Amino acid sequence: MSDQFKKEAAERAAEDVSSGMRLGIGTGSTAEFFVHALAKRVRDGLDVIGVPTSERTAKLATELGIRLATLDELPELDLTVDGADEMDAALNLIKGGGGALLREKIVAAASGQMIVIADASKQVEALGQFPLPIEVVPFGLEATKRAILGVLADLGLPQALELRGGAEKPFVTDGGHYILDARLQKINETEALANRLVAIPGVVEHGLFIKLATKAYVAGADGVKTVWPV
């Protein structure tokens, strides 16, 4: 049922898109349902231009006939629609399970609004059960890892970091970076962690999306609910 719920949330978000919009288009399984829903509206006459958050999304959107541009061409967007790996009551998010967190955050920050689409399993009381992706520069990886572990220790968090893909064949992002996944269980000081991580020179970005989402459509057995930050 999870895919059906994702599809329902995505289709509801597509209804919020109007002609003339400059649209950020997210990455991941839920976002792909949105791309299909958006493409259907485009075939029916909707006139929009999208900025994709990954090469994967760009390929799908192009195949489905959605007009695309870059963020350099459209540096200010009206709306971004994207999924989430976790979402708390304030609509703070963990994102990056698909490896596109850097571009997703750049696009979301350039948007006037961000709608999150998700199934109900993504709602949590506190972020952290889903591993937090931390995008890092390959150069000096061990030094960066030690600095991250120091931050986690200072904040009383588990010091559990894994290189995505493993040392033999690490996952490489569209930007040419690696991802360290931090298994933190429960993050009590979200903003403190976000600020400390991004201050580490080898850290490019992290998957904590704080105060970016303006609304969420969450689908479950009882239909699609609109969720506002509290």
- Active-site position among 104, 125, 162, 191: 104
Residue 87: enclosing H or E segment and its boundaries? strand 86-87
Catalytic annotation present for 135: no
- Start-to-end C-alpha separation, the chain: 28
- b/e burial code for range 97-133 (CB count within 10 A of at least 16 → b): bbbbbbbbbbbbebbebbbbbbbeebbbeebbebbbb
Per the CB < 8 A criterion, the answer to whether 119 and 6 are in contact is yes
Residue 146: enclosing H or E segment and its boundaries? helix 141-154
In degrees, rounded to 5, the angle at the alpha carbon of residue 98 between the alpha carbons of residues 30 and 78 is 60
For residues 159 and 148, what is the distance between their CA atoms, to the nearest angstrom? 9
Q: Which residue has the tokens 């009590």?
A: 188
CA distances for 161 relative to 157, 172, 188, 199, angstroms: 11, 16, 18, 18
Strand partners, 161: 182
Burial-class residue 171 by CB neighbours within 10 Å (0-12, 13-18, 19+): middle
Q: Would you please indicate which residues are annotated as catalytic (active-site) residues?
A: 104
